[in-house]
Structure 1
Amino acid sequence: MRIHFIAIGGSAMHNLALALHQKGHQITGSDDMIYEPSRSRLEKFGLLPETYGWFPEKITRELDAVILGMHAREDNPELKKAKEIGVQVFSYPEFLFEQSKEKTRVVIGGSHGKTTITSMILHVLNYHNKEVDYMVGAQLEGFDTMVHLTEENDFIVLEGDEYLSSPIDRRPKFHLYQPNITLLSGIAWDHINVFPTFENYLDQFRIFIDSIVKGGILVYNEEDEQLKKLVEETTNTIRKHPYHVPAYHVENEVTLLETPEGDMPVEIFGRHNLQNLAGAKWICQHMGIDEEDFYEAIASFKGASKRLEKIAETGNTVVFKDFAHSPSKVAATTRAVKEQYADKKLVACLELHTYSSLNSEFLTEYKSALDNADVAMVYFSPEAVQNKRLESISAEQIFKAFGRQDLEIYTNSEDFQEFLKSQNFSQSVLLLMSSGNYGGLDFEEVKEWIK
C-alpha cells in the first residue's frame, strides 16, 4: 500500500509510520515541525520530510490511504485535497482497527496506568518469546518501535486512549477498537477541554464497555467504585473478572510481592503499580501465560519510560522523574514513593502543565494530592495559561486547592531551579512530576545538584 501521514512527527504517528514501513508499505508524510526523538528515528529510515509544511501536491489518487494525526487542523491543505479527490482518510485508531480485524484485540483502557499495564503485558510476552502485534504509548527497553504490525500474529495489544481520534473524528480512540479482551484500570476525570463534566467523561467508558464484542472478556479494577458501578450496570453479554491490589510489603526500600511460591522482590513499587500488576496478570493468563510464568517474567520489569523512572541515585539520595500530572496520578505516585522510602525526606515537585491542570475550576481536584510529601512544590508558567486561553490563576488559588499552607509555588523557572539547588538532599528522595520540563529544567544538571 501507498500511505501518506498528515502530521507524521507525532509520538504515536511516527511509530505507526515506522511499523508500516517495516511491513513493506510505501510511506510518505508531512508535518509543520518535528522534534526529537521522532526526527532522528524517521530520518534513520528515510521517512523524514525534506521540508516542513503542508503540500497538497503530495496527495494524489495513487495513494491507498491517508492517516490523519491529532496535531493537524481541520482546515489542513493536505486533508482538504484528500477529501476533494476521494482518497480514503483514516484516523490513527481507525487504521489500527483495519489492520487488526482478523486478530484477537486486547485493549488496555482507563484514566491511569494504561501505559504501565500495557508495558507489563508486553514485557511478560516478550520474556516468554510469545509474538504479538502491539501499540503502546511509551518507549520500552528491548523494543525498537512502539507499534508492531504483522500478518501472522494472532493477538494485538492496544493501549486504549479515551482522547479524540482525529480533528475530524471526535470519538474517543478506544471506541473504535471493538476489543475481544479488555482491561479498565479506573476512572478519574480528565481531558476537561473535551469532556466538560464528569458525567460526560463517564459516558465514554459506558460506550467502551458496550463496544466489547459479545462473549468477550472485561478485566476491571474492583477497587474503583465508579468503574465497578458501570461494570455492574452494563447489559453487554461479556465475562467479567475483577482484580485488586495484591498482598505485598516493603523491607529495606524493597517491595516484596506475596506470591503462592513465597515473597518475591519486584523492581516496581507503590499500591497503584502493584494494582496494575494484578490486572496485567489476568490479561496475560487470558493470553496463555500461566501464573508461575507471569511472576518469573514480571520480576525483571523496571517500568515504562517516564513512569517513576529513577534518573539518579547517589549515596543516600534518589531522584525520580514521573509523567504524573492528573490529581489521581500525583496522589498515587507521591504516596508510593513515601511508602517505599519511609525513612527518607520526600521532596515532591509538580508542574501544572496540561489544559486540565491549569484550569481554575479543575484545580480543586488536587485537594490533598501532595499530602504525603515532606516538602511540596508546584510550578506553573503564567505564559502557558495565556497560551491555552485560560483564566489566570493565583498562588492563593493553588494554596487553597492543594490544602497545604507550606506549599512552595513558583512561576519562574529560574527561581524554581535555584530553590532546588539550595536544598539539602541528604537522606532524601526528589520526585519530579510533569508532562513538561519545568520551563527548561536540565535533568542532567539535577544529577549534579544531589552529589
Structure 2
Amino acid sequence: MDIKTIKSVHFIAIGGSVMHNMALALHEKGIKVSGSDDEIYEPAAGKLKNGGINAQVGWKPESINDSIDLVVLGMHAKEDNPELLKAKELGLPIYSFPEFIREWSENKQRIVVGGSHGKSTITSMIMHVLKHAGREFDYLVGAEVEGFPLTVSLSDAPVIVLEGDEYLASKLEPVAKFLKYEHHIGLISGIAWDHKNVFTTFNEYTKQFDLFADQTPKAGSLVFNEEDDLTNIVGSKEREDVRQVPYKTHEAVIKEGKTFLKTKDFGEIPVNVFGKHNLQNIAGALALLKLIGIEEKVFYDAIQSFKGAKNRLELLAENNGNIVFKDYAHSPSKVGATVDALKEQYANANLTIAYELHTFSSLNREFIKEYKGTLDKADQAFVYLNPKNLKLNDAAAFSEADIQKAFGNENIKFFEDVESLVAQVEASKTGDKNTFAFLSSGKFNQINLKELAEKLVS
C-alpha cells in the first residue's frame, strides 16, 4: 500500500514517547488518528488531549473496524492484545513504528544515529544545526528538543534524521528498531551492554550493532567513535564501497566552569554542554553533518546555542556556587560518563550523586555488576530503589552491602524510601561550592526535583 494515501490510523499503545508524538504529527497532516493504551501518563495524556486526539484508556477491540486503513503497534502491546487480535482478524495492515517511518521515508535520505549512549544528544545536535542552516528535514528523536514542538516530524522534506534505538520494534517484530530504517548514513556513538531483558548476553547485544553497520549500503557512509574500542572494531570492518568516517573527542578547554571548543580556523567556541562524552557527541555530529554539506563555520555558529536534549544533563537550578542537574542516565556507561563530566567541569566543588536503579537490567543481579566504579568520582554517592519497581519486575530485594559490592564502593549509601534519600542529599551540602545530580530514567517516586533543586541552591 502507498502509506502516504492513508486517511485513518489507529495506535495500539499510543502512550509511548515516540508513539504519541507520531500520532500528533499524523493528526496535524489531516489524518484521522485514534489510539489506546492500558495507561496513559503525562505528558502524553495532556499533549494528546490538547492536540485533539481522543485516546482511550483500556483495550477496546470494538474500536477496531474496516474504516481504519492501518494500525501502528507499540512495543508495550503484547501478542494477545485484544485490539491486535481484532486487527489481525480483519486483515488490517499492522506496522511497528520504525516500519511505518521506513515506509514513509521511502524516497528520503535516511540518517540514523545509533549507540548505547549519546544517540539522543547527537540526533538533537544534528537537528539544531540543520534548523540553524535553514535546511528542510524530517526527524524522530527520543527526547524533547528546544525549538521543536514534537519529537517526530513527517513532511515532504528530502532528508530524515532518526535516533536509532537497538531495542525491539514490537512483539510481532523482535528486531532492533534501527535495523528497520535501512539507513544511507549511519552513526555509532559507542557500544556498552544494555537491555539484558532482551539481549541476554554481551555478544548478542553487540551483534545488533554489527548488523547495523553491515546494513550500510554501497555508496553509503558509516560514522563511528574510534575511541570506543568495540565501536572502532565494528566501524573499521571492511565493507564494500562504504565510506568509513571515524571521529574522536573534540578538543576543548574549560575556563571558570565553561567549556570552549578549540578550533583551527575559528578560535575558541563556547558551548553549553560539557564532559568528554558530549565532546565526542559534538565531534560525531560534525563529522556526519559535513557529509551532507554543512560547512564547519555553520556548525560552530549553530552549536554555541545548543542547550542539550531535555533530561540530558539538564540544569535545574544554580545559585551562589551551587548547581543542580538531572540526567537520563540509566545504564552503567551513561552513569560513568555523567559522573566523570560533572567532576571534570566542577573540579573544585563537592559532588553529590543520587542514582535510581529503575530499568529491568539494573535490577538483575548479574548485570548490576556492570556498574562497578561508575560512582567512584562522586564525593557522596546515593543509590535509590523503589520497592514497587522490584515487585513489577519480580526481582529479589537488595541490601546496602549488595549495592556496595556491585558498584565496588563501600561508601555508597542505599535507600528504599525517597524521604530518607532527600534528607541525606540535603545533608551532603558542604562549604561554598556544591554540585548535585539526580540520575534516572524513572521519577524518584514522583519527588519534585525542580523544587528540591531550588532548595539545594538557596
Q: TM-score, normalised by structure 1?
A: 0.97
Q: How far apart, in 2, do the equivalents of 1:203 and 1:334 lie?
A: 28
Q: How far apart, in 2, do the equivalents of 1:232 and 1:314 lie?
A: 46
Which of 184, 189, 197 aligns to 2:188? It is 184
1:52-451 equivalences in 2 (<5 Å): 52-151=57-156, 153-260=157-264, 261-425=266-430, 426-446=432-452, 447-451=454-458
Which of 47, 72, 75 aligns to 1:41? It is 47
User: Per the alignment, in what secondary structure is the counterpart of residue 401 of structure 1?
Assistant: helix
The runs of at least 4 consecutive aligned structure 1 residues that moved more than 6 Å come to none
Q: Which residue of 1 aligns with 2:3?
A: none
User: Per the alignment, in what secondary structure is the counterpart of residue 357 of structure 1?
Assistant: helix
Q: How far apart, in 2, do the equivalents of 1:33 and 1:397 lie?
A: 33
Q: How far apart, in 2, do the equivalents of 1:171 and 1:236 lie?
A: 24
User: Per the alignment, in what secondary structure is the counterpart of residue 202 of structure 1?
Assistant: helix
Q: Which moved more, 1:80-89 or 1:233-242?
A: 233-242
Structure 2: 5+ residue stretches without partners: 1-5
- The alpha-carbon deviation at position 16 of structure 1 amounts to 0.4
Which of 22, 26, 31 aligns to 1:16? It is 22
Deviation readout 1:70-89 (Å, 9 max, x if unpaired): 12121111100110110000
Paired residue type of 2:11: F
Q: How far apart, in 1, do the equivalents of 2:442 and 2:315 lie?
A: 17
User: Per the alignment, in what secondary structure is the counterpart of residue 200 of structure 2?
Assistant: coil
User: Per the alignment, in what secondary structure is the counterpart of residue 17 of structure 1?
Assistant: helix
Q: How far apart, in 2, do the equivalents of 1:26 and 1:381 lie?
A: 40
- Does the Cα contact within 8 Å between 2:226 and 2:232 map onto a contact in 1? yes
Deviation readout 1:87-106 (Å, 9 max, x if unpaired): 00000100000000110000
Percent identity (aligned): 48
Q: Which moved more, 1:410-419 or 1:88-97?
A: 410-419
Q: How far apart, in 2, do the equivalents of 1:22 and 1:288 lie?
A: 30
- Does the Cα contact within 8 Å between 2:34 and 2:53 map onto a contact in 1? yes
Deviation readout 1:238-275 (Å, 9 max, x if unpaired): 11000000111111101111012111111110000010
- Does the Cα contact within 8 Å between 1:245 and 1:274 map onto a contact in 2? yes
- The alpha-carbon deviation at position 421 of structure 1 amounts to 2.7
Q: How far apart, in 1, do the equivalents of 2:140 and 2:293 lie?
A: 19
Structure 1 residues 440 and 26: CA distance shift in structure 2, 3 A: closer
- The alpha-carbon deviation at position 123 of structure 1 amounts to 0.5
- Does the Cα contact within 8 Å between 1:39 and 1:48 map onto a contact in 2? no
Deviation readout 1:31-77 (Å, 9 max, x if unpaired): 2221111111111121022x421121221222211000112121111
User: Per the alignment, in what secondary structure is the counterpart of residue 57 of structure 2?
Assistant: coil
Q: How far apart, in 2, do the equivalents of 1:214 and 1:86 lie?
A: 36
- Does the Cα contact within 8 Å between 1:324 and 1:435 map onto a contact in 2? yes
- The alpha-carbon deviation at position 427 of structure 1 amounts to 0.8
Count of aligned positions: 449
Deviation readout 1:171-199 (Å, 9 max, x if unpaired): 01001111001110010000000000000
- The alpha-carbon deviation at position 386 of structure 1 amounts to 2.6
Q: TM-score, normalised by structure 2?
A: 0.96
- Does the Cα contact within 8 Å between 2:225 and 2:232 map onto a contact in 1? yes
Which of 27, 36, 47 aligns to 2:33? It is 27
Q: How far apart, in 1, do the equivalents of 2:374 and 2:46 lie?
A: 37
- Does the Cα contact within 8 Å between 1:345 and 1:429 map onto a contact in 2? yes
- Does the Cα contact within 8 Å between 2:352 and 2:428 map onto a contact in 1? no
- The alpha-carbon deviation at position 422 of structure 1 amounts to 2.5
- Does the Cα contact within 8 Å between 2:166 and 2:178 map onto a contact in 1? yes
Deviation readout 1:298-357 (Å, 9 max, x if unpaired): 011111000000000011100000000211111110010111111111111111111111
Deviation readout 1:131-185 (Å, 9 max, x if unpaired): 101000111111111110112x110000000001012110010011110011100
Q: Which moved more, 1:178-187 or 1:59-68?
A: 59-68
User: Per the alignment, in what secondary structure is the counterpart of residue 166 of structure 1?
Assistant: coil
Q: Which moved more, 1:23-32 or 1:170-179?
A: 23-32
User: Per the alignment, in what secondary structure is the counterpart of residue 215 of structure 1?
Assistant: coil
Paired residue type of 1:52: V
User: Per the alignment, in what secondary structure is the counterpart of residue 349 of structure 1?
Assistant: strand
Q: Which moved more, 1:228-237 or 1:119-128?
A: 228-237
Paired residue type of 1:65: L
Q: How far apart, in 2, do the equivalents of 1:389 and 1:17 lie?
A: 32
- The alpha-carbon deviation at position 234 of structure 1 amounts to 4.7
CA root-mean-square deviation: 1.2
User: Per the alignment, in what secondary structure is the counterpart of residue 352 of structure 2?
Assistant: strand
- The alpha-carbon deviation at position 236 of structure 1 amounts to 4.6
Structure 1 residues 332 and 154: CA distance shift in structure 2, 3 A: same
Q: Which moved more, 1:101-110 or 1:412-421?
A: 412-421
Q: How far apart, in 1, do the equivalents of 2:154 and 2:363 lie?
A: 37
Deviation readout 1:339-393 (Å, 9 max, x if unpaired): 1111111111111111111111111111110111111111112332232012332
